[in-house]
Structure 1
Amino acid sequence: MRSIWKGSVAFGLVNVPVKVYSATEDHDIKFHQVHEKDNGRIRYKRVCEICGEVVEYRDIAKSYESEDGQTVIITDEDIATMPEERSREIEVVEFVPADQIDPLMYDKSYFLEPDSKSSKSYVLLAETLAKTDRVAIVHFALRSKTRLAALRVKEFGKREVMVVHTLLWPDEIRDPDFPELDKKVDIKPAELTMAGQVVESMTDDFHPEAFTDNYRVEMMELIQAKIDGGEAFAVEEQPAADLDETDDVSDLLAKLEASVQARKSGSEDEPAKTAPAKKAAAKKAPAKKAAATKAPAKK
């Protein structure tokens, strides 16, 4: 694994140097978009709506439009001046019982690895969390956003690894406005008893490895059957000059990924010292899913 960020956990007067790694990976099957008529790959151009020119990614700037229609440009230099962006600290704010965190708030998970010759401070914090059965609420800046997160310990074999789960801000959780649930429904005691018996008959310990992504397995079997049946074909490579102006979504995301890796010690991935009030979200277009090459089936 490659670390995505380096910093330290501030635990009282104790400073715990750490490296941060993504704890999960995507195994979804990726598809390319092709022209149904001739199987040609679909390419996209980044075109300026004013002058009509195809714009290279290096020439694209960030802008924010206010509610009254005013637009401002935000540069990398602007972002680098923000105190939150410059910080490299995961600050422990408080310790809480794990059951007080609604699972609906959990977002993404990251592993923390000791980043020093001695792992004593890391082990101290990990064992303290385990012994007190508490979760540390922390905040830091990662990928251009102040993160509220839960820091806990998870056992992997004989190792106790600290894991950070970023949390959604309260205003990022929707209100389930379902009027139908406001209506009174009478449940008979016999119905409740019978439902409880069904639950009891299906109760077991949770073993995630016992479950399989059946859709993925069946899709890979379908793909392999088409290959074995002679339906596969080789895609003709296009000249590099054409690809420069017509990168598809997967090519663009690959470049973005490379940019993040190249700047991981710069302004893109910095943690925070104080957690400011949640700022208004900027308008943004929904992200497009990237197309990628197929991966072998995993059970």
Structure 2
Amino acid sequence: MPRPIWSGAISFGLVNIPVKLFNAVKKKTLHFHQLRRSDACRIRLKRVCALDDKEVPAEEIVKGYELSSNQYVVVTNEELEALSPEASRGIEIEDFVQWEQIDPVYFEHSYYLIPDKGAGKAYTLLLSAMQKTKKVALARFILRSKQYLAAIRPAENLLVLATMFFADEVVAREELNDLPASVEPPERELKMAEQLIESLASDFAPAKYQDEYREKVLAMIERKAEGEQTVTQPAAQEKGKVIDLMAALEASLAAIKDTPAAKPRRKKSRA
């Protein structure tokens, strides 16, 4: 049973709604320890001074902000704590905006907001109002001594909170090199590309997409644990560059049409 990682209240105007915050995702990352090849002895990493190669005890280590090569400003934990945002249990809504106005590049991590005891009515009121107006709330809150910008949106029968990057953390597209020129493609090629997209169109089904590499690694580890000999998969041959765009589009469409399992898709009528 998932446990809340934070509890507090959503506040906007004079309204306060007690809520609990739950993780909406659980990352499944493979972790490996470093071992010595000869005897599988566990490798430990030590904090060593770059000048004399001597290990430095934790109480002698301080934080340094690098100004230039080998020049630092030393900052103590006490100085950082004095500047930390005051502990707060509030999610303070500052604005309501259209969902389409927020570029997904700003989103960082997702959480579920669940009403706390006695807050169901007020929670449902906010949820329904946001669904009716098709608005998303922008708010600030403090989690683990750090202030976050967040977007709160309705998702069926609950509210989802997504922490966001601040504007100065997002790389501006104007800073990128070799951006494609704004040129209208030939009509025939554009129609072929549209047909290819339509032929591959389907409803989003998250379970369809699996981390195949992770599954293969876990299967290999299981076989090794059972004593089975493994083999190395041959490297895939590198594909050449596509030169003729039109030919590539035509070949893609032809391959889809020739597939026995391919069936014409019907577009769902909108209610």
Where on the TM-score scale, by shorter chain, does this alignment land: which range? 0.7 to 0.9
CA distance in 2, matches of 1:154, 1:131: 12
One-letter code aligned to 1:206:
F
CA distance in 2, matches of 1:4, 1:44: 30
CA distance in 2, matches of 1:39, 1:186: 60
TM-score of the pair, normalised by structure 1: 0.66
Please report how far the alpha carbon of residue 185 of structure 1 lies from its aligned counterpart in structure 2 after TM superposition. 5.5
> Which of 169, 173, 180 in structure 2 is aligned with 1:172?
169
Find the counterpart in structure 1 of residue 57 from structure 2.
55
Please report how far the alpha carbon of residue 206 of structure 1 lies from its aligned counterpart in structure 2 after TM superposition. 0.5
After superposition, give the CA deviation of every residue in 1:123-151 in whole Å (9 maximum; x if it has no partner). Answer: 22122212221110111222333211100
CA distance in 1, matches of 2:163, 2:121: 25
- Do structure 1's residue 143 and structure 2's residue 144 form an aligned pair? yes
In the alignment, is the contact (CA less than 8 A) between 1:79 and 1:85 conserved in 2? no
CA distance in 2, matches of 1:186, 1:124: 47
CA distance in 1, matches of 2:49, 2:89: 37
- Do structure 1's residue 213 and structure 2's residue 214 form an aligned pair? no
**CA 1:183–1:127 in structure 2 vs 1: closer, same or farther (change >3 Å)?**
closer
**CA 1:172–1:128 in structure 2 vs 1: closer, same or farther (change >3 Å)?**
same
Aligned residue pairs total: 224
- Do structure 1's residue 120 and structure 2's residue 121 form an aligned pair? yes
Greater relative CO (CA pairs within 8 A, separation 6+): 1
CA distance in 1, matches of 2:136, 2:201: 27
Please report how far the alpha carbon of residue 16 of structure 1 lies from its aligned counterpart in structure 2 after TM superposition. 0.9
Structure 2 residue ranges without an equivalent (≥5): 230-271
Matches within 5 A, 1:166-205: 166-176=163-173, 177-181=175-179, 183=181, 187-205=185-203
Matches within 5 A, 1:18-97: 18-47=19-48, 52-56=54-58, 59=59, 63-65=63-65, 67=67, 69=71, 71-76=73-78, 79=81, 82=84, 84-97=85-98
One-letter code aligned to 2:38:
K
One-letter code aligned to 1:100:
Q
Please report how far the alpha carbon of residue 114 of structure 1 lies from its aligned counterpart in structure 2 after TM superposition. 1.9
TM-score of the pair, normalised by structure 2: 0.73
Structure 1 residue ranges without an equivalent (≥5): 232-299
Find the counterpart in structure 2 of residue 256 from structure 1.
none
CA distance in 2, matches of 1:5, 1:61: 31
Find the counterpart in structure 1 of residue 99 from structure 2.
98
Of the structure 1 ranges 202-211 and 2-11, higher mean CA displacement relative to structure 2 is found in 2-11
Give SS of 2:179's match. Answer: helix
Matches within 5 A, 1:241-256: none
CA distance in 1, matches of 2:6, 2:225: 41
Please report how far the alpha carbon of residue 122 of structure 1 lies from its aligned counterpart in structure 2 after TM superposition. 1.7
In the alignment, is the contact (CA less than 8 A) between 1:18 and 1:113 conserved in 2? yes
Please report how far the alpha carbon of residue 105 of structure 1 lies from its aligned counterpart in structure 2 after TM superposition. 0.6
Q: State which structure, 1 or 2, has the greater radius of gyration over its C-alpha atoms.
A: 2
One-letter code aligned to 1:134:
K
Give SS of 2:108's match. Answer: strand
